[in-house]
């Protein structure tokens, strides 16, 4: 090796692209491989979805303010979210743990309590895993398996100009919860006589520590007879995900600032921290809402669902990716979303 390229120079997606660009597919059952929320495998009458996530202490979670039960719950939820984001139903998961000797059996039992609550809530079976020691810290690897009716899976690269961009629930809350927890942690570390002040902040703290995979959105779409043209989950902020959908689909977009769904609690918290709520929703991560595009003729079917907001529409590639401010001005839509290769 003569030349050293820093991973940070490529970023997560650049690295994945670099490492996987020459993949050859051997099995007819491999319908969709690397590059979406989940892979798709054909199984005679149904298709299997598979998705995996690695969570590392100090990178993805901070045990100073994350109860282990919540962590177990969240580790499962973020994987189920990937299966729903393919328009599928999760059915099984595997969990691998790397644990340092800091963790007792009681601590791991708490972690598993959260795992089981999440599994039971979504009717998912824990079917396997691997457990070993880690030199330092806690490592959690979750793989989720799901199913989808043949060719009903929804990818990221199939949005079309004119499609409406929809987001479920509201965004920015998890980032504000993280901001609050990091602030309280700093205060506590400076003077541990001061106890954390989380009063009136249960919404944003819950968004951070106990995200919910949006099964009911998938159920609603099915009942309403809507197949999104493209979909993914919101793990890195609305901007980052809209740009993904645009880049992968070869389209542009117009996103309207005043349409971005932000809860009242998040808005208040943002003002308290001196942050712009819109920026939190656009660039904050870990909301685990669903973002999807639908055909204009499906608009009437979703308009009465208060859980779904239309935030804009797709345009042609030439028109670029734009954010339209409340004042009506155009700005380029950019992602400063959370980058797994930058230290938080």
Radius of gyration of the chain (CA): 20
Rule CB under 8 A: choose which of 62, 63, 66, 137 binds a copy of itself: 137
Nearest distance in Å: CB 209, a copy of itself? 19
Binding mask 94-133 for a copy of itself (x = CB under 8 A): x-xxxx-x-xxxxxxxx-x---x--xx--xxxxxxxxxxx
Rule CB under 8 A: choose which of 63, 67, 92, 117 binds a copy of itself: 92
Phi and psi based region of residue 102 (left: phi greater than 0; alpha: psi -120 to 50; beta: remaining): alpha
Residue 197's CB: how many other CB atoms inside 10 A?
11
Nearest distance in Å: CB 274, a copy of itself? 28
Nearest distance in Å: CB 251, a copy of itself? 24
Q: Which of residues 8-37 bind a copy of itself (CB under 8 A)?
A: 8-10, 12, 15-16, 18-20, 22-27, 29-30, 32-34, 36
* DSSP character string of 301-318: HHTT-TTEEEEEEEEEGG
Count of residues of this chain found to bind a copy of itself when the rule CB under 8 A is applied: 88
Query: Token pair for residue 141?
Result: 């690897």
Nearer to a copy of itself, 38 or 204 (CB): 38
Q: Which of residues 259-298 bind a copy of itself (CB under 8 A)?
A: none
List, in order, residues 6 or more apart from 30 with CB less than 8 Å away: 39, 40, 41, 42
Binding mask 302-341 for a copy of itself (x = CB under 8 A): --------------------------------------xx
Return the half-sphere exposure (C-beta side, CA atoms, 13 A cut-off) of residue 176.
32
C-alpha 239/C-alpha 339 separation (Å) is 13
Task: Work out whether 48 is an interface residue with a copy of itself (CB under 8 A).
Answer: yes
C-alpha 269/C-alpha 156 separation (Å) is 32
Task: Work out whether 38 is an interface residue with a copy of itself (CB under 8 A).
Answer: yes
C-alpha 233/C-alpha 131 separation (Å) is 28
Which of 6, 27, 24 is CA-nearest to residue 15?
6
Task: Work out whether 231 is an interface residue with a copy of itself (CB under 8 A).
Answer: no
Task: Work out whether 84 is an interface residue with a copy of itself (CB under 8 A).
Answer: no
Nearest distance in Å: CB 172, a copy of itself? 22
Nearer to a copy of itself, 135 or 274 (CB): 135
Contact 182, 51 (CB under 8 A): no
């Amino acid at each position: 090796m003569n030349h050293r390229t820093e991973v940070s120079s490529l970023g997560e997606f650049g690295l994945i692209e670099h490492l996987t660009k020459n993949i050859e597919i051997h099995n007819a059952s491999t319908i969709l491989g690397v590059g979406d929320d989940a892979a798709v495998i054909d199984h005679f009458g149904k298709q299997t979805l598979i998705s995996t996530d690695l969570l590392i202490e100090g990178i993805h979670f901070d045990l100073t303010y994350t109860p282990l039960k919540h962590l177990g719950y969240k580790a499962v939820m973020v994987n189920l979210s990937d299966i729903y984001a393919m328009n599928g139903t999760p059915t099984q998961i595997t969990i691998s743990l790397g644990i340092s000797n800091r963790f007792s059996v009681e601590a791991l039992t708490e972690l598993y309590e959260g795992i089981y609550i999440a599994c039971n809530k979504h009717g998912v079976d824990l079917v396997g895993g691997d457990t070993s020691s880690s030199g330092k810290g806690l490592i959690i690897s979750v793989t989720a398996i799901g199913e989808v009716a043949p060719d009903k899976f929804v990818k990221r690269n199939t949005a079309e100009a004119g499609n409406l961009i929809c987001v479920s629930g509201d965004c920015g809350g998890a980032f504000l919860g993280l901001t609050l927890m990091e602030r309280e942690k700093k205060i506590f570390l400076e003077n541990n006589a001061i106890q954390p002040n989380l009063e009136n902040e249960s919404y944003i703290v819950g968004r951070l520590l106990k995200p919910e995979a949006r099964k009911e959105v998938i159920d609603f779409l099915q009942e309403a007879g809507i197949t999104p043209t493209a979909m993914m989950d919101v793990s890195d902020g609305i901007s980052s995900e809209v740009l993904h959908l645009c880049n992968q689909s070869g389209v542009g977009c117009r996103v309207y600032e005043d349409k971005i769904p932000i809860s009242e609690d998040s808005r208040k918290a943002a003002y308290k921290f001196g942050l712009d709520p819109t920026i939190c929703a656009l660039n904050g991560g870990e909301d685990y809402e669903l973002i999807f595009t639908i055909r204009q003729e499906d608009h009437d079917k979703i308009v009465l669902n208060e859980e779904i907001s239309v935030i804009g529409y797709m345009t042609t590639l030439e028109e670029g990716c734009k954010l339209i401010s409340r004042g009506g001005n155009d700005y380029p839509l950019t992602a400063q979303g959370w980058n797994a290769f930058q230290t938080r």
